[in-house]
Amino acid sequence: MRSRHFTLCLATLSLAAGSASADRIDLNTELVKRLAKAGKLAPLYQQKTGRPMPQGIGVQAIFTGQVGGAGLQISAPGMIASAPLVLQEEDVSNCNTEPLVDTLQIDSSASNSTSFLNSDQFETAQELSVTVGYTSPFGASASATATAKQSQVTLNSKGGGDSTTVSWKYSPQITVAAQKMVTTQFVVTQEKLDNLPYVANFVLSGPVKLVYSAGAAGFTWVPRRGSALPTDPYKPFQLGKQWDYPVYACRVVKDNVTYIGKTHGDVCYLGVPNPPGIPFALPGFTSATYDFLVGDAKAVALGDPFTKQAFDADGKGLQVCVGDIGGGLLLPGYVSKDGQCISNFDQHSRATRNYKVLLDPHVGGVEIDTTVDSQLSPQDRTFNLRGLFSGVQAVKGNVRVSAPRPASDCGVVEASAMGMSVTPNLKGATANAMAKPALHPAKVKRVKPGPPLPESQALVAVPPSK
């Protein structure tokens, strides 16, 4: 197996420290939890300020260090399915009156492929690269000529994988009986694995900034589950005003586009920008599946649309806005590319330039610069990513030869094509000794590959040339 590289755009990690897995995990939030569990937060605060850490103060971690690979384990397959694949097929005819040895020219290749599909999702604005080694599960069957080898793989936020080519180039010889023809096939045995669970291990190291403040607990997105509002790590905070209805911010991803809207705890109401030249308000849309924006209500602050301290709603700079659409209505939405606040009211999209944006809660407070590896043990700074592995591997190749049958394409052999050899007149040999015709080369016809011949008709298996 060839070596390959796995770039991890840290997307879905579950904790190696034994906590429950989640659909989406915030790396910075998890670092704070682990630092708190290790008893590191209060001593760091006191060392920096000379005062005890206040009760109820929030802490936000901003990790800017490195992620190193600690290995990837693929679950052992209970059984590896294998199937023959015919890469090359030829009909070989011997039109001579005696057996003929023919040399085949095998020149074929097959593709080996691997696929790693992340089943977890991880939220971070920082894209990281990691090299992870793993032991290939191929070669585990009794019939395989390959052995398990250590390899490397490259992951992005969705997964990864690669495809390599293996080739066979050699010249085996076969004997074809007189006036007979045979079918020859070059057949590769492929092993296939589908959806084997894997766990990739990553270790964090390097700089992390800790921000201690009432608002530093941060904002995060929590999936809606049932009719009750989420409570962990916080309840949703009200953002905006619509008469006597509670108004919360909600988020929906549709066709790879992130939308921010309002919810009263039921469905999420969202607006869409007007295309150029459309003067009237377009219908909005709703979704019963969405995320609540939650956080410490004391951290909520609105600011000018051009601030550099706006809350990043999707890790790509999307701003959450609160638009004043008149009539005392202040509705949450998102800032469009042309600088308008897009929200939804009365089942229609609303756009306005009279709005404020939600500020990042991680501004101000006591800031401490430290390193992850100086504060946490290797176990506490190790994270796991789960996923499913699939792959196809060509493990051996051989030539298979059919039973002989009468040659059907010899036709009439022209006299000019018949070479003659004359036995020398030695020690009484007659001058009219019988002449012996030279053997004609075999007729070789490349044909479309058909069903594989039985394995019992195979010559010795040959490993790939590369």
Other CB atoms within 10 A of residue 297 CB: 13
Q: What is the pTM assigned to this prediction?
A: 0.59
What pLDDT shows up at residue 333? 97
Cα 409 to Cα 51, 179, 440, 443: the distances in Å are 99, 10, 14, 8
What pLDDT shows up at residue 143? 37
What pLDDT shows up at residue 436? 59
| Short-list 255, 244, 240, 266, CA closest to 341 | 240
Q: In whole angstroms, give the CA distance from residue 59 to residue 166.
A: 53
What pLDDT shows up at residue 68? 79
| Short-list 183, 218, 387, CA closest to 299 | 218
What's the full length of the chain, in residues? 466
Q: In whole angstroms, give the CA distance from residue 24 to residue 8.
A: 16
How is 201-229 classified by DSSP, letter by letter? Answer: EEEEESEEEEEEETTTT-EEEEE--SSSP
Both tokens of 425, joined, read: 């007149």
pLDDT along the chain (466 residues), means of 10: 34 38 65 94 93 81 82 86 92 93 91 87 60 77 48 78 89 93 93 91 89 71 88 85 91 94 95 82 92 85 85 90 93 95 94 92 78 94 88 89 90 42 41 62 92 89 74
What pLDDT shows up at residue 6? 32
Question: DSSP 3-state assignment of 47?
Answer: helix
Both tokens of 45, joined, read: 């605060």
What's the distance, CA 453 to chain centroid? 37
Both tokens of 237, joined, read: 């905070």
Question: DSSP 3-state assignment of 343?
Answer: strand
What pLDDT shows up at residue 128? 59
- Find out whether 174 and 102 touch, Cβ atoms under 8 Å: yes
For CA atoms 260, 262, 265, 267, the dihedral sign is negative
For residue 384, the cross-strand partners are: 14, 201
